[in-house]
Structure 1
Amino acid sequence: MSKRLSKTKPQRQKHPASPVTTAVSPNLDKILNNQGINFAQRGEFAQAATYFQQAIALNPTEAEFHNNLGIALTEQGKPTEAIACYQQALTLNPNYAQAYYNLGNTFKEQCQFEQAAEAYRQAINLNPNIAAMHLNLGNVLQEQNQFAEAIACYQRALALNPINAHIYLNFGIAMRRQGKFIDALDWLQRALAFNKNLAEAHYNLGLVLKERGQLDHAVECYQQVIALKPDYPSVHKQLAAVFQQQGQLSQAIEYYQQALTLTPDDLGIHQSLCSTLIEQGNVEEALQKIKALQTQDQIPILLLLNYLNELTPAAIFSAHQRFNEKYALPLAQLIQPHLNDRQPQRKLKIGYVSADFRTHSVAFFIEPILAHHDHQQFEIVCYYNERHDDFITRRLQSYADHWVNCVELTDTDLAAKIRQDQIDILVDLSGHTSGYRLLVFARKPAPIQVTYLGYPTSTGLTTIDYRITDGCVDSQGNEPINSETPLRMSNSYFCYQVYDQTPPVNPLPAVDKGYITFGSFNNYAKLNSKLFELWAQVLCVVADSKLLVKAKSFHDPNLQQDFQKQFARLGVEAERLIILNLAPSTYSHLETYHQIDIGLDSHPYNGATTTCQALWMGVPVVTLVGERHASRMGLSILSAVGLTELIAYTPEEYVEICVKLANDLDYLQQLRARLRTQMQASPLMDGKQFTQHLEATYRQMWEKWCATTTVVKYT
């Protein structure tokens, strides 16, 4: 997250004005210096520098002249020359506190924080009574994450100047960056008490409120920043992010676009804009924007490919191979020999890397594995690439032997940490999704590397040895479209676990309502015009039926209207559409299934968590099988539960199954009554058996590596 530290203007050396005479003066050097000061005070720094240089030519031993020239050069954007001037001033006068301070400011502006800190310390040793020096030292220490030392500096600055709003501001920033949000609120509010127009304080207050989930109040703070400082690019980005989080997608897009007018080269804003377009269902528009960028390495273009109807599995894999060639293979030169003990039957260290150890779809499927690992045979290390945690994070953490929050570590540092931890098998749970660390895997910090669960196709990386999958999503013979060796679980590669408390299954809604309600809770990005045509066919055949759709994106009224218009063109009236956005809790989200008789899977990107949740709530889900992994996840889940009659292999069969179910209420009632029990008894929810099979697979990988002495070259 970006850091905004308040900038204290350098205190310029004051000089008494010397009288200007028309005769040649023995004090001409001082006159020239004073002329330079006059120009500098008017902001004419190039002219000022000329006078300071003339003064130095006459008297090169005057430290003050070199200091003043340094200031003029700094203001002209010439930091290297300015630093040389300050250093010359200090050579002439080692006790020149102001020159040390100006030197520190210039180093700070160049992000040379260690050098800046040393200069500020020298200035403080010479003159400890200037609050700004302690403040700026605190700021550069904070930039180096030395929070305790930074706070000590702020305390000394406050003792010297207790009414300086910037000191309170930076105190608050330090607290926020440490996750001490209550303290941060207190300090930031104090800053605003001294200066209500301090935009940086409103901005940081908004960041704290956003972290605490007080999104409406965060919006108020960001809007106050814009009123005070409309050209503040970060605030437009943050405001857009809040609107995106709330599902107000049209407003989010508007503010991302405003942010880009201020910082058009910010790839992070481009990425956020594209992710918002995806949430709106505008996948192709997002893809075109990404292709228009000259630099694409930080944009999740590969994930987008899975949403597009027209691409073949081979075309998707080819794009992943290009990623490997451009970004991963150049890092192969950093790979070092692995010195792990090659004993086949010893206790193994398994490392899981993910940004999704929290309330996230991945957590539903990784928790039963972490909960059932045999800690006598396996030592579990989780590398969590996210700043925030919740009750799911804490629960997952309790299953691990070691927990490492790695979000602040660079790829180089994280790879070194994993190697230092002597991980034997490193498992990627993200693929190319948000928060991925694949370029850590490109450095091969562990002898065996695996990808699993979080991404619906090959990563493309030749440094990842295996991909955990199953025979449904990846049938035999598809090895050519994998950079990894597929290892197929005996049943589904999904292993699902529900939260502790869930609503009971209710009777079939159609019995009381007198009509069938179809439903889909999938991410709106997984929906598309071809899928809507299928759903419209179903609705037109099944008299009086309705369609309930639920997604965060529907918080945006513009999207609701667009959705209704699309179905109107297909002959389905708005009265037959029930549109809902996010529920306030998982429990209430699951309760919404009480309104649905039959679930409709998305295509070509199937649901996984949504399908499992629907089945748990007694709602059968009809899926359409395609060629690629993403369009075969429904096949994997339904096969594991024994519901093969809900699997369609053509669009016509998809419609036929939906209509058949809608016309057989007795069967739907019976299925609804037994579905939860049937699911619990299936391999899909047998966490113990699944984990034992996975551990046996890990052991086989390890035994094979132990028997291999050949040095592998990655190409």
Structure 2
Amino acid sequence: MIENEQVAQDASQKQYVLDVLYFHGVELSQQGRVAEALSFYSHALESAADEPALAYLLGRQAQAFNSLGCLDEALECAQRALRLDPSQITAQCPVAYVLLLKGRFEECIEFCDHALAYHPERAELLHNRTAALGGLRRIEEALATSNRILCVNPNDVRALRNSAVMLDRLGRYAESVDYYRRAASLDSSEPWLLGLLLNAQLRLFDWNGLDSLVSHIEHALLEGKPVVEPFLFLPVCHDPQQQLDAARIYAAEIGLTARDRQDFQPTGELRDRIRVGYFSSDFRTHPVMDLLAEVFELHDRARFEIHAFSSLDDPHDPAQERARAAFDHFHNVEKMLPGDVVALARRVNLDIAVDLNGHTQGAQPVALATRLAPVQIAYLGYPGSSGADFIDYIIADPVVIPPETRRFYSEKSLCLPGSFQPNDRKRQRAGLPKARADYGLPEHGFVFCCFNAPGKLQPALFDRWIRILKAVDDSVLWVYCSSEDSARDNLRREAMIRGLDPVRIIFAERLPLQQHLARHRCADLFLDTFPFNAGATASYALWCGLPVLTVSGHAFASRYGASLLTAVGLPELISPNLDAYEAMAIELGRSPHNLDVFKRKLDVAREQSVLFDTPRYVRNLETAYETVWQRYCDGLSPDHIEIEAEQIF
């Protein structure tokens, strides 16, 4: 009897120790002290006697390893747990998460389906299944999976956000805005959510509550919160310091996942050929490829070995076919994990990594944060600072980043003469347009146009456009909008609110590039957006002989138009502020013959300006690469560099 009591007492004491160790571990995990929690879980495992308890604790250990980014250790612990108890949810969720992070999407979906047989409505499993389906571009299935969570819990913020993203990808934009709004009303602190809502509203010309939303985002940025992805902030942000703050917060979040950073040591030796790797998801029919295609083709192969690292594989796309032919080596890295991309870049022994995505869709920030090459450069795809300590230089020109604004960039400025933007002389010339009526335009009257993405327009600028139209009799505004009818209805309603007959707003559909270039001839003046100027869109207009009127601000994105107009020899179309922009648009609309001198200049510029002189541009770019590589080999830190045109001639 006494012996039985002792056994019970020992068991009770052991259970007490187990409970103390476990609950202390949980408490430490909740405080973010995950490494310390692991120690307590390990001690608890030593006290666990039965298989269910062991399985549960191993699952907890797996969750902690996941939090630390130790995916292999997490997977090992979780699989040990599931061998003891196949239904153990603390282990099932880490397995699904690891498979997702490793890009093993098919396995993740299969595992989630197996686990859901035990726990049919477990939200965490459904979240991972949603993400895996999204990774495979099975968007309808992903949406259905996310909505399964909402059927059980309509207030699950993560599910609302995920459903909104999937609706977005399906082109159901108005529905996506509703989901984002519902999520934000429940928890506006959900990372990046308000930025996604902002982007969704702007794309639909849905300006309801926009001022309050922007104000909320700005306050969150001041507090260092992950509230808006940098690219989505550009259409509403005039302040380069705010843009830098947003980029730094985003880069810091990315940097937390780059745990195996390995810096390079200068060798002091120059190779016969510098190895340059271009990293992008846009080696396809895309404005970035349209601008850069001839640059890749013209690189001097006696001095440079050129690699492409493509994170979007589309071998039947004509632009990608051209890219594959242009590079010495074309690497398809679409299905690679960041670590594998890094390993490949180091295996080919890159000297310079050139990031063409920046903070845009399809980027490889984790790979870049780990370090792909000794010198890393941001170029073209994102008009602003990366905010990252792993990007050494940003390619610019004296207009987009004048010396007095360099403090707003985490990178050192690598300034090219002329314009930082390349162009492709092989681009199709604008053919003959259809009649105005075929585009829905009136036969007579002045046509103001803007073919920028709808998301670049905000109410303050639209106010100006309305005043311009009212001041120029019989004028119309021709704007690009290929989304659903709700966007068009919204803009028409905004016009009516401002006292303009909405019939004077004409919407342009998406067209193949050659047809798009041709229709430029039916417009009289391109009105640029502010504070996020046109980029490739402005180059298309200038290439077609259509004058572009821009406003120059203080940030890269709001000086883009000024850079292009300076390079093409039309600085008189750069307005210092919105008042001057409005006045000049009205003057040109009332006296359209004054545009003739600009159009004649553009006819000459296509053949003679630095903006469209691709061979000269490539020589400047290559000098920039040689300069930064020599500096690295000399053991010098990155610094601001200006490439002078006379070095080339």
TM-score normalised by structure 2 residue count: 0.71
Deviations for 1:383-406, whole angstroms, at most 9, x for unmatched residues? Answer: 556799994567545544263749
- Give the superposition deviation at 1:482: 5.7
SS at the partner of 1:238?
Answer: helix
Match of 2:510 in 1: 583
Q: Tell me which amino acid in the other structure corresponds to 1:296.
A: G
Q: Which residue matches 1:568? A: 496
Distance in 2 (CA, whole Å) between partners of 1:409 and 1:271 is 26
State the distance in 1 between where 2:161 and 2:459 align: 30
Is the 8 Å Cα contact of residues 377 and 391 (structure 2) preserved in structure 1?
yes
**Would the alpha carbon gap of residues 502 and 220 (structure 1) be closer, same or farther in structure 2, given more than 3 Å must change?**
farther
The RMSD of aligned alpha carbons is 5.7
Deviations 1:194-229 (A, max 9, x none): 999898898777657756767566545543442245
Post-superposition shift, 1:316?
Answer: 5.7
Moved more, 695-704 or 116-125: 116-125
Counterpart position of 1:42: none
83, 87, 109: which is aligned to 2:46?
Answer: 87
Name the counterpart of 2:292. Answer: 366
- Aligned position for 1:518: 448
Tell me how far 1:705 sits from its aligned partner: 4.2
Residue 562 of structure 2 is aligned with which of 614, 618, 635? 635
The 5 Å alignment of 1:18-417 reads 56-57=8-9, 84=43, 86-88=45-47, 101-111=55-65, 143-145=97-99, 174-176=104-106, 219-220=143-144, 222-230=146-154, 232-245=156-169, 248-259=172-183, 265-277=189-201, 279=203, 280=205, 284-293=211-220, 296=224, 298-300=226-228, 306-308=234-236, 311=239, 336=263, 338-343=265-270, 346-354=272-280, 356-357=282-283, 360-382=286-308, 391=317, 396=323, 399-400=326-327, 401=329, 403=331, 405=333
1:465 and 1:175 map into 2 onto residues whose CA distance is 34
Q: Which residue of 2 aligns with 1:610?
A: 537
- Show the counterpart of 2:458: 528
For residue 600 of structure 1, what is the aligned residue in structure 2?
Answer: 527
Displacement of 1:610 in angstroms is 1.6
Q: Residue 87 of structure 1: CA displacement?
A: 3.4
- SS where residue 513 of structure 1 aligns? coil
- Secondary structure in 1 aligned to 2:278? strand
Separation in 1, partners of 2:576, 2:17:
78
Q: What is the aligned counterpart of 2:395 among 456, 463, 468? A: 468
For residues 93-134 of structure 1, give each alpha carbon's deviation from its aligned partner in whole angstroms, at most 9, with x where no partner exists. Answer: xxx766654554443454566567656777899x9xx9769x
CA distance in 2: counterparts of 1:238 and 1:575, whole angstroms: 37
Question: Is the partner of 2:537 in helix, strand or coil?
Answer: helix
Choose the corresponding residue for 1:679, options 599, 603, 606.
606
1:671-710 → structure 2 map (5 Å cutoff): 679=606, 683-706=610-633, 708-709=634-635
Whichever residue aligns with residue 491 of structure 1, its letter is G
The aligned residue for residue 475 of structure 2 is 545
SS at match of 1:690: helix
Distance 2:243 2:186 in 1: 36
Correspondence for 1:452: 379
Change in Cα spacing, 1:371 to 1:662, as seen in structure 2 (3 Å) is: farther
Distance of 1:214 and 1:235 partners within structure 2: 17
Q: Deviations over 1:36-62 (max 9, x none)?
A: xxxxxxxxxxxxxxxxxx96415689x
Matches of 1:489 and 1:459, distance apart in 2: 19
Q: What is the distance in 2 between the residues matched to 1:317 and 1:217? A: 36
Rate the CA distance shift 1:617–1:310 in 2: closer, same or farther, 3 A: closer
Counterpart-to-counterpart distance in 2, 1:596 and 1:278: 24
Counterparts of 2:188 and 2:248 in 1: how far apart (Å)? Answer: 26
Indicate if the aligned counterparts of 2:392 and 2:638 stay in contact, CA closer than 8 A: no
CA separation of 1:221 and 1:509: change in aligned 2, threshold 3 A: same
Quick check: 1:256–1:272 contact (8 Å CA) kept in 2? Answer: yes
Q: For residue 338 of structure 1, report the CA deviation from its aligned partner.
A: 1.9
1:555 aligns with 2:514: no
Deviation at 1:506, TM superposition (A): 0.7
Identical aligned pairs, as a percentage? 22
SS at match of 2:215: helix
For residues 692 and 365 of structure 1, the distance between their equivalents in structure 2, rounded to whole angstroms, comes to 16
Normalised to the residue count of structure 1, the TM-score between the two structures is 0.66
User: How far off its partner does 1:520 sit?
Assistant: 1.2
Distance change >3 Å, CA 532–CA 229, structure 1 → 2: closer
- State the 1:498 CA deviation: 8.9
Structure 1 residues 246, 595: closer, same or farther in 2, change over 3 A? farther
For residues 392-450 of structure 1, give each alpha carbon's deviation from its aligned partner in whole angstroms, at most 9, with x where no partner exists: 5675455442637499766x997787667643333343455566677877887755443
Output the amino acid matched with 2:266.
L
Q: Decide whether the 8 Å contact of 1:624 with 1:649 is kept in 2.
A: yes
CA distance in 1, matches of 2:514, 2:115: 41
Q: Which moved more, 1:114-123 or 1:283-292?
A: 114-123
| Cross-structure match for 2:646 | none
Check the 8 A contact 2:161/2:179 in 1, yes or no.
yes
CA drift at 1:549 = 1.9
Residue 427 of structure 1 is matched in structure 2 by 354
Compute the displacement of 1:602 (Å). Answer: 1.3
SS at match of 2:526: strand
Structure 1, unmatched stretches of 5+, are 1-24, 30-53, 91-95, 149-172, 179-183
Shift of 1:460: 6.0
Question: Is the contact between residue 406 and residue 413 of structure 2 (CA under 8 Å) also seen in structure 1?
Answer: yes
Worse-matched range after superposition: 566-575 or 472-481: 472-481
Which amino acid is 2:550 matched to? T
Q: Which letter does structure 2 place at the counterpart of 1:87?
A: E
Structure 2 CA distance, aligned partners of 1:462 and 1:146?
Answer: 27
The residue identity in structure 1 corresponding to 2:421 is F
Q: Specify the SS of the correspondent of 1:267.
A: coil
What are the superposed Cα offsets for residues 683-709 of structure 1, whole Å, 9 maximum, x if unpaired?
434444422321122223333444x45
Distance 1:483 1:121 in 2: 43
Higher RCO by CA contacts (8 Å cutoff, separation 6 or greater): 2
Q: Distance in 2 between matches of 1:584 and 1:189?
A: 42
Q: 1:209 to 1:82 in 2, by over 3 A?
A: closer
The answer to whether the Cα contact below 8 Å between 1:69 and 1:82 also exists between their aligned partners in 2 is no
Matched, 1:495 2:422: yes
* 1: CA distance, partners of 2:177 / 2:614: 41
- For 2:534, give the aligned amino acid: G
Contact 1:320-1:459 within 8 A present in 2 as well:
no
Q: Once the 2 structures are TM-superposed, how far is the Cα of residue 69 of structure 1 from its aligned partner?
A: 7.5
Q: Could you say which structure has the larger radius of gyration?
A: 1
Alpha-carbon contact 1:623-1:654 (below 8 Å) kept:
no
Instruction: Provide the rounded CA distance (Å) in 1 between the counterparts of 2:587 and 2:507.
Output: 22
Q: Distance in 1 between matches of 2:298 and 2:507?
A: 39
Following TM superposition, by how much is the alpha carbon of 1:712 offset from its aligned partner in structure 2, in angstroms?
7.9
Do the aligned partners of residues 379 and 143 (structure 1) sit closer, same or farther apart at CA in structure 2, a change above 3 Å counting?
farther
The whole-number CA distance in structure 2 between the counterparts of 1:403 and 1:486 is 28
Give the whole-Å Cα distance in 1 for the aligned partners of 2:46 and 2:630. Answer: 62
Distance 1:338 1:287, change over 3 A: farther
